Amino acid sequence: MTTFKRLDETSSLIGKTALVRVDFNVPMDGGRVSDPTRLKAAIETVQTLRTQGAKVALLSHFGRPKGVRSAELSLAPLAKVFSGLIGSPVSFVGDCVGAQVQAAIEALPPAGIILLENTRFHAGEEANAAELADHMASLGDLFVSDAFSAAHRVHVSTVGLAERLPAYAGKSMERELAALDAALGTPRRPVLAIVGGAKVSSKIDLLLNLVEKVDALAIGGGMANTFLFARGHSVGKSLCEHDLADTARAIEGRAKAAGCDILLPQDVVVAQDFAAHAAHRTCGLDEIADHEMVLDCGPQSVAILAAAMDVAKTLVWNGPLGAFELAPFDRATVQAAQAAATRCAASDLVAVAGGGDTVAALNHAGVAEAFTHVSTAGGAFLEWMEGKVLPGVDVLKT
C-alpha cells in the first residue's frame, strides 16, 4: 500500500493549529441534517488531534456557490449539530481566511474546535489559486486531509494546503485508502466486481479498468441490456444504448484477453410499465416481448452471482442490479447484497462498495454495516475504480 503520513506519527501538538479538511456537505431537509454520516465520520480525527492538544479548524465546502456568498449555503448551522455529535463546543467564524479568522483561531483554547465558513464562497478555492492557498495555509501549522469524497478535486482545501503545510491523512481518509487498497490494490483473489446502473456510456472507463484487474465482472441494471443486445438478444423497450453495442463487444474482448469472466443476467424480470408493483413476469433472455422492459435480474441470475461470491475472496460493488427503488424490482439487488453480507459475516469475503445508488441500495437491503467498507464518496470512488489518479490522495504520498 502507498505510504502516507498518519496522525499516529504526530506527538504533542500543544500550541499548534490543525487545518482539517472534512466533508460537511450533508443533505438537509428544512434546515435539519437528514443524514449525519459525514459529520460522524470526522469525529475520530478531530478527537485524535484534540488529545494531542491541537486547536482544530475545520474546512469544508457545502453545495455549489461558485465563489458567491449565499446564506442558504452557509456552514453556520452545522457548528451546533457537530457540537452535539462530538460532545464539545464548536465555534463558527464567517470566513475561511483573513484577520477575523486568524483572531478566532488564536482565541481558541488548546483542543478547541472551530468550523470555518464554506470554502467555495471564494472563487479561488476551486481554481486552487496560489494567493488563497497562501492565506489559508498561514492559519495553521499542519494540514489533515479527511475528506476522501473531495480527493478527486484540485482545490485549495484538498491540494493547495497539502503542498504548503506538513500534510497527514485523517482517520477517515486512512480507513478509506486501506479499504480501497484491499479491494483493488493488493486484493485477496479471486476478485469479483459487480457493476450496475442505467448506462454503459457513464461507466466505460470503469469497465475497461476493471476487466484488467478483476477475475470476474458481473454487469447488471440497465447497462446489462446493452451487453445483452450486443450478444444478439432482443431487449424489447428496455433502457438500452443500442449505439454502444460495438463498445460492449470491445469490452468483452478486452475481458477475454485479460482472463476476466463477464457475468450477464441469464434470466430477467420484465414488465410493461416502469412503476412499483407493475404486472411482471420472469423469463429467459430469448422470451422478452417487444412491448416489455427488463427491470431486474431473475432468480437464476442471482444464484449464479451468489455462487461467484462463494468462490471470490474480494468483492467490489458499484450500482444496483435492477430498478431497486421500485418494488418488487429490488429483489435481485437485495438478495445479492444479503448473500455478500453473509459471506462477510463468516469472514470469508472482503466486500467494498461505493457510489450514491449503491449506498442507498445496500441500506435498503439492510446490510450496509455488514460490508467490510461502504464508501459515501461518490465521484471520488468512481474515479478510483476507473484507475485515475486522485490529486487529493496523490499529494499526501510520502
CA dihedral over 154, 157, 160, 161, signed as positive or negative? negative
CA dihedral over 41, 383, 72, 107, signed as positive or negative? positive
Q: What are phi and psi of 218, to 5 degrees?
A: -95, 130
C-alpha dist (Å) from residue 263 to 68, 224, 270: 48, 10, 19
Burial letters 115-144, b for 16+ CB under 10 A, else e: bbbbbbbbebbbebbeebbebbbebbebbb
Q: For cell 490529486, name the residue.
A: 391
Helix then strand then coil, in percent of the chain rounded to 5, is 40, 20, 40
Active site positions, annotated: 38, 199, 356, 379
Distance separating alpha carbons of residues 166 and 142, to the nearest angstrom: 5
Distance separating alpha carbons of residues 226 and 294, to the nearest angstrom: 11
